[in-house]
A and B are shown apart, each in its own frame.
Chain A
């Protein structure tokens, strides 16, 4: 059971897909105009992530290495279609506001990334909890961003008017002074437009880094240090790969991404020095992630085609 908890903690905090790994930025920036939209997107992604992780983990001995990316995509796309039809049927308003971003879950690099990095080389139960943890992390992040943007940009929170004229506090006579005070607020409408997403995301990541750094000073490591100063003075390939094979690993990964275009997102993300280091540390922690040698082997198989 500790394994399951560890996976959930990992997804929620240590390797939060949005704030630490900065994966899946497209839905993060585009649909978080309100807390409801953010939560809806996060939950849909989580459902797909859990189901696809479980299925890929079950089929990991059946899927041949050479066609694993297309196989992942087929599995993920099936679940996305199910989620899409369910949303359309039961919550049409959410379906309308999320729009194209529901079908785009197929190419969300968090899902493909977890399939490749975890589910493909781990048993079913840990994969399930890995999907759950990552999905929860994504949901919490999107809801948080959505709530900040909605509150600042429209004065609302989950659809309730908190700030500005006609806020909910007017309904209670004893809260009238508070209502009058909050009623003075003028919506900063840039926050529900595209630039607002970048502002909010940047500030949340900055705050997270700050907390993590001060925790690291006290000797408590919440998450692997992902700041780039760690690379200074060290060989950069060594830092990114975490091993001597790092450099060759990376080249092979590039070749893979050329072979299968849809994996490009995930590969680019893991090439980014910080997040690659994260993955590496994580695999050491859990001890059962894909080993670098294995990845290299996969790469050779791919490049031989």
Chain B
């Protein structure tokens, strides 16, 4: 870590932005959507959230104790990872899925690369993709309350919304993973984060706008507002754009880079959703974006004042 700490000369400004404060804000911002998920899907959703969060915290503690490293559980980042992962699980999944996912997210994606700040990929999304590949049938089974049916995105792909309206999708009265259904609850949380100054609109804005632009250009229905609003409200786009693409560790730090990153995510999500094998593609798009972050940062690194510059 010592090579990352470049202390400038004084005066210094004291900031309250510690890791645990920021993580606490993210947890608070996720609560509306998580709470809606519990209300919408029932007790089982709460069980998934509890198991996944507990599993993430437990594995972080276990790894740090076993490797005799400093225990960093109190910074709450493991809780955020667990909450995000749980919100990405379908409610009908078996109970152990959160344990497997939490172990993968914390140990393999996060701790083996050096812990918080060193992971190259969002742990929650890495674990979700691991689960999606490993247990495909479990992770794409969205039946709940003995009602089975396709998610809105699957309906859209099959020809158009049948059992849900766009209004359902905005309020969250649809099939889907625990935390992704309600656009309203997610946007309330996102507004809170933006007001607290924890995230800004660069990544989510460029992500969603470029995704819409992609749909207009390449979608079957071009300017059909119903189709576009259903695509924006459906699936994990809101959750991904506001809470996972903006993860401090795995997003570019340069401003220009953040726009590039957002546009890349939008285009990739569009490609996955329109031309891919499955109706959803937000998590794969963000993971691919995460992998490109070092490259994006390299090409968008601003020049220090007075260095280089244009030649007349």
Contacts and interface: CB of A to CB of B under 8 A. Distances in A.
- Do A and B pair up? The answer is yes
Nearest to A186: B135
A190 B138 contact: no
A189 B135 contact: yes
A193 B132 CA distance: 13
Nearest to A193: B133
Interface string A184-218: 00111111010100010000000000000000000
Interface string A106-140: 00000000000000000000000000000000000
A188 B108 contact: no
Contacts of B136: 189
Interface residues of B, number: 9
A interface residue count range (under 10 / 10 to 19 / 20 to 34 / 35 or more): under 10
Contacts of B133: 189-190, 193, 195
Contacts of B130: 190
B42 interface: no
B8 interface: no
A151 to B, nearest CB: 14
Contact of B94 (A186, A190, A193, A195): A186
Given A186-B94, A189-B133, A190-B130, A199 B138 contact: no
Contacts of A195: 133
Interface in A79-120: none
B59 to A, nearest CB: 15
A189 B108 contact: no
Nearest to B130: A190
A139 B76 CA distance: 45
Contacts of A188: 100, 134-135
Interface of A: 186-191, 193, 195, 199
12 contacts: A186-B94, A186-B138, A187-B134, A188-B100, A188-B135, A189-B133, A189-B134, A189-B135, A190-B133, A190-B134, A191-B134, A195-B133
Interface of B: 94, 100, 108, 130, 133-136, 138
